[in-house]
Amino acid sequence: MAGIASTGLDVILAGVIPTPAVAFLARRFECCGGIMISASHNPPSRITELKFLEGDGYKLNDEEEGKIESLVAADDYPRPIGGAVGRSSTSKMQSPFIWRI
Protein backbone atom coordinates (compact mmCIF):
# COMPACT_ATOMS: atom_id res chain seq x y z
CA MET A 1 0.00 0.00 0.00
CA ALA A 2 2.72 2.46 0.95
CA GLY A 3 4.56 1.96 -2.34
CA ILE A 4 1.51 2.80 -4.41
CA ALA A 5 0.53 5.71 -2.15
CA SER A 6 4.07 7.06 -2.55
CA THR A 7 3.31 7.63 -6.25
CA GLY A 8 0.40 9.94 -5.40
CA LEU A 9 -2.49 7.49 -5.55
CA ASP A 10 -4.94 6.89 -2.72
CA VAL A 11 -5.11 3.22 -1.73
CA ILE A 12 -7.85 1.25 0.00
CA LEU A 13 -7.06 -2.18 1.41
CA ALA A 14 -10.15 -4.33 0.95
CA GLY A 15 -8.82 -7.33 2.87
CA VAL A 16 -9.16 -10.98 1.94
CA ILE A 17 -11.89 -11.14 -0.68
CA PRO A 18 -12.66 -13.37 -3.69
CA THR A 19 -11.21 -12.38 -7.04
CA PRO A 20 -14.54 -11.22 -8.56
CA ALA A 21 -15.01 -8.85 -5.62
CA VAL A 22 -11.98 -6.79 -6.67
CA ALA A 23 -13.51 -6.18 -10.11
CA PHE A 24 -16.91 -5.38 -8.61
CA LEU A 25 -15.50 -2.99 -6.01
CA ALA A 26 -13.27 -1.17 -8.53
CA ARG A 27 -16.40 -0.36 -10.54
CA ARG A 28 -18.66 0.29 -7.54
CA PHE A 29 -16.31 2.80 -5.91
CA GLU A 30 -15.14 4.31 -9.26
CA CYS A 31 -11.50 3.45 -8.57
CA CYS A 32 -8.86 4.02 -11.24
CA GLY A 33 -8.03 0.32 -10.92
CA GLY A 34 -7.51 -2.62 -8.65
CA ILE A 35 -4.61 -4.84 -7.68
CA MET A 36 -4.91 -8.24 -6.10
CA ILE A 37 -2.41 -10.74 -4.84
CA SER A 38 -3.34 -14.14 -6.17
CA ALA A 39 -1.80 -17.47 -5.26
CA SER A 40 -2.09 -20.90 -6.78
CA HIS A 41 -2.39 -23.62 -4.20
CA ASN A 42 -1.89 -26.39 -6.73
CA PRO A 43 1.50 -28.11 -6.76
CA PRO A 44 4.04 -28.00 -8.21
CA SER A 45 4.01 -24.28 -9.00
CA ARG A 46 2.34 -22.49 -6.07
CA ILE A 47 2.83 -19.27 -7.96
CA THR A 48 1.99 -15.96 -6.36
CA GLU A 49 1.25 -13.09 -8.71
CA LEU A 50 -0.16 -9.61 -8.86
CA LYS A 51 -3.24 -9.10 -11.00
CA PHE A 52 -3.96 -5.59 -12.25
CA LEU A 53 -7.47 -4.46 -13.13
CA GLU A 54 -8.70 -1.30 -14.81
CA GLY A 55 -11.36 0.85 -13.17
CA ASP A 56 -14.03 -0.96 -15.19
CA GLY A 57 -13.06 -4.21 -13.47
CA TYR A 58 -11.39 -5.84 -16.48
CA LYS A 59 -7.86 -7.23 -16.32
CA LEU A 60 -5.14 -5.13 -17.94
CA ASN A 61 -3.89 -6.52 -21.23
CA ASP A 62 -0.38 -7.96 -21.44
CA GLU A 63 1.02 -4.80 -23.03
CA GLU A 64 -0.21 -2.59 -20.18
CA GLU A 65 1.09 -5.05 -17.57
CA GLY A 66 4.45 -5.01 -19.37
CA LYS A 67 4.58 -1.21 -19.08
CA ILE A 68 4.05 -1.47 -15.32
CA GLU A 69 6.78 -4.10 -15.03
CA SER A 70 9.17 -1.88 -16.99
CA LEU A 71 8.45 1.17 -14.84
CA VAL A 72 9.02 -0.77 -11.63
CA ALA A 73 12.17 -2.47 -12.94
CA ALA A 74 13.59 0.86 -14.13
CA ASP A 75 12.59 2.53 -10.86
CA ASP A 76 11.14 5.27 -13.08
CA TYR A 77 7.83 6.54 -11.74
CA PRO A 78 6.61 9.73 -10.06
CA ARG A 79 7.52 10.36 -6.45
CA PRO A 80 5.45 13.24 -5.14
CA ILE A 81 6.18 14.87 -1.80
CA GLY A 82 4.14 16.51 0.93
CA GLY A 83 0.42 16.77 0.32
CA ALA A 84 0.73 15.15 -3.11
CA VAL A 85 1.53 11.75 -1.56
CA GLY A 86 -1.48 9.46 -1.65
CA ARG A 87 -3.28 8.19 1.41
CA SER A 88 -3.83 4.60 2.42
CA SER A 89 -6.73 3.25 4.43
CA THR A 90 -8.53 0.07 5.25
CA SER A 91 -12.21 -0.39 4.67
CA LYS A 92 -15.02 -2.88 4.88
CA MET A 93 -15.48 -2.46 1.14
CA GLN A 94 -16.55 -6.06 0.80
CA SER A 95 -19.99 -5.27 2.27
CA PRO A 96 -21.50 -4.02 -1.06
CA PHE A 97 -20.17 -7.14 -2.78
CA ILE A 98 -21.71 -9.43 -0.16
CA TRP A 99 -25.07 -7.68 -0.44
CA ARG A 100 -24.88 -7.91 -4.22
CA ILE A 101 -24.51 -11.70 -4.20
40 is catalytic: yes
Three-state secondary structure call for residue 69: helix
Instruction: Please tell me which residue in 38, 40, 91, 95 is annotated as part of the active site.
Output: 40
| Contact in structure between 37 and 2 (CB atoms under 8 Å) | no
Those residues with Cβ within 8 angstroms of residue 41's Cβ, 6 or more apart along the chain or in another chain: none
Catalytic residue IDs: 40
